[in-house]
Amino acid sequence: MTSNPYAGVDVSGQRILVVGAAAGIGRATAELLAARGARVICADRDAPRAAAVAASLPGGQPLEFDITDDPRLRDEIATLLGDGRPLHALVNCAGVTGVTGAPSHEIDVKDFDRVVEVNLRGAFVLSQAVLPHMTRHGYGRILHVASIAGKEGNAGMVSYSASKAGLIGMVKAMAKEYAETGVTINTIAPAVIRTQMVDAMSAGQVDYMTSRIPMRRCGTLDEIAEAIAWAVSPAAGFTTGFVYDLSGGRAVY
């Protein structure tokens, strides 16, 4: 039996901000990181749910902001970092799909803009908010959750695919800029992970995406949380600008 290479990832003593922690990938990641010894700040625009998740974790701390509200986001993170303690890692799980299952010419530009605002622009502002702090401390891990759609494109998901492709490009550029600072910046590209966001899609859209996965199944929250935990741990020190695939064999490049 092959052992799990991520098993027992040690993040004890790490202070980690998880954005989008109220549910789905963010919640699963927050719970795993806390179980592995990290002190997790659970950020989300859904304050009650973020607070509930934080309260369930040893040393958990809630934080409320909308990733599209630049002033509030910057203020909340500045306050968080104002105590002088290092923030070791940022995990950004915030994301929306927008309208799916429709051809590109039918997509309202407002919907396209909204998806890009959350998935790409929000990730950019988040990164800006923590990078000066991490570079001053000479250490940091930033991990943004992208998607296999950003590498290959999903028909019927033009807004989402474009925003995640942009996110991957942003991470690669940023990683090179900060490669000598002790801060790594990476992304993870999952195929279909069964979350509330996926449940909101049409059954046809989910069937289409799952049919393209050689393993013929969705990924699990446990699997992606384990991969994220390793990517933001001290052990992952020589990897930056990388796209961690979690695709069941759909992407092998």
Q: What value does the mean pLDDT take over residues 71-81? A: 97
State the pLDDT confidence band at 210, using cuts at 50, 70 and 90. Answer: confident
Instruction: Please compute the mean of the pLDDT values over residues 153-166 and round it to a whole number.
Output: 96
Q: In what order do the strands lie in the sheet with 15-19?
A: 61-64, 39-44, 15-19, 89-92, 140-145, 183-190, 243-246
User: Cα 82 to chain center, whole Å?
Assistant: 24
Question: Which tokens is 206 given?
Answer: 């989910």
pLDDT greater than 80 at residue 219 = yes
Q: Which is higher by pLDDT, 142 or 253?
A: 142
CA angle in degrees (0–180, nearest 5) for 203-190-7: 125
Q: Which of 48-52, 57-61, 78-82, 196-200 has the lowest mean pLDDT?
A: 196-200
Q: Using 50, 70 and 90 to split pLDDT, how confident is the model at 7?
A: low
- Tell me the pLDDT tens digit for each residue of 129-146: 999 999 999 999 999 999
pLDDT at 196: 74
Mean pLDDT of the chain: 93
Q: How much is the pLDDT for 1?
A: 36
Contact yes or no for 144/241 (Cβ under 8 A)? no
Mean pLDDT value across residues 171-199:
92
Mean pLDDT value of segment 175-185: 98
The pLDDT score that the predictor gives to residue 195 is 77
**What are the residue numbers of the active site?**
160
Q: What is the pLDDT of residue 116?
A: 98
Is residue 200 scored above 80 in pLDDT?
no
Residue 5 has pLDDT above 70, yes or no: no
List the domains of the chain with CATH numbers: 15-246 (3.40.50.720)
pLDDT for res 8 = 62
Q: Where are the alpha helices (DSSP H) in the chain?
A: 24-35, 47-55, 70-81, 109-116, 122-137, 149-152, 158-177, 196-199, 203-211, 221-231
Q: Is residue 217 scored above 90 in pLDDT?
A: no
